[in-house]
Structure 1
Amino acid sequence: MSVRLIVRTFSELCITAGALIILFVVYVLFWTGVKAAGATEGQIDDLQNRWARGAVAAPAPAPVPSASSPASDPQPSAPAPAPEAYRDGKPFAMLYIPRFGKGWEWPVLENTKVKTLQKGLGHYRGSAAAGAKGNFAVAGHRRTYGDPFKDFPKLRPGDAVLLTDGTTWFTYRIDRKPYRTVPSDVGVIDPVPRRSGYDGPGRYLTLTTCDPEWGSSHRLIAWAHLDATQPVTDGRPAAFHS
């Protein structure tokens, strides 16, 4: 085999490899976002249609706000009705984080499977229901599939995290800057999350995502406590503008 043929063959292999790498980068950076946008819009439409049909139970009386502290536990003035069970893989709420921008809104689906997280955020199965005592825990992609938690490190104490199930607005407040840990540290989504600083039962929310930005060797965690609730008929909470 001549040197010229060897060089030409090697060059062609390099060009082919380069083209495959470019296609992969385009898929990761662009196409997964396109797929996520369509899938997310579908989940939002599903939710809005269900809510328009009145397929969600009436809201419980709003808890009386108490002093904002990590262990604060607003208590409803009357017993709340049993919440509708979340359907596996289906959307049941919308999440808003003003810190991430005016247009940041994502559906929350039940479970954290790979296919679920390609459509929106995933609620850890077995964690608390929205607004309930315990820990409402949510996972989302840092990058790819719409980059929902791309700006996760920007979260700061006092930031609002707003959740609605179609009948009630739940306003949570972040209590500390994001905490970095390893994937095996599952205690971060316990009812009283480990290393959160909370010293007893309450109504908490945990957000989780991958770290570093384009890797998954670690996890970033943000914890929040329930600060206030109000029925959706009262409009959007003031926290949207704070």
Structure 2
Amino acid sequence: MRRTLLTMPPTPAPAPGPAPAPAPAPAPGQQPSRHTPSARRPYHHGDLRRAVLAAALDVIAADGPSALSLRDLARRAGVSHAAPAHHFKDRTGLLTAIAAEGFGLLASTLNEAADLKDAGVRYVRFAREHPAHFQVMFTPELLRADDLELTTARTLAGDALRGAVSAVRPESLGIDTRLAGVAAWSLAHGFATLLLSHNLDGPVGDKDPEEVFRTLAAMLFRSEPRENP
């Protein structure tokens, strides 16, 4: 038996017509437009990480770290719910990244301090300007303690504060340098924490918190020990 091969009839050639008009050339000095469908991407690698961090800081400032959800942050950033995990793995990773960024910012501002008192003022200012960072940085149970970025940034901030303390040479007054650092940190951190939690609204009132801190620092670090009668 002979098999019959089915073949498609040839497609007729299109009728000749006018050629399509070429795209207009850009004016002299004008760059070609890059707004093509493939170029219109909502985020690239760096943008998404920053967008998630910014959204997380807003949530923390308003409702605290416990309100964080990667799925909710993805919705806020306008990406798939799995996208943030590519940068932070999980919620702990995100909080750790926030803390590391905060310690880096704190180190930068402390390194610019003129003296120990100015370092304390800058510490308080940092807490007021970055309340979400400040809250996460000092809540170790939320963080991945062995994260290299976190430990490096924390060390830089600590070194900056220790440098400001060493500059006043507390050992020349018979004061242990390490304890002097603890005292300076306790004053700045305690004042900032009480300020952010509104526990100083009454005592401070409408006064500039930084000026109040300067006064406190002068009272505590310049006072001479009283002699027993």
TM-score range for the pair, normalised by the shorter chain length: under 0.3
**TM, length-normalised to structure 2:** 0.28
More strand by share: 1
Query: Which structure has more RCO (C-alpha within 8 Å, separation ≥ 6)?
Result: 1
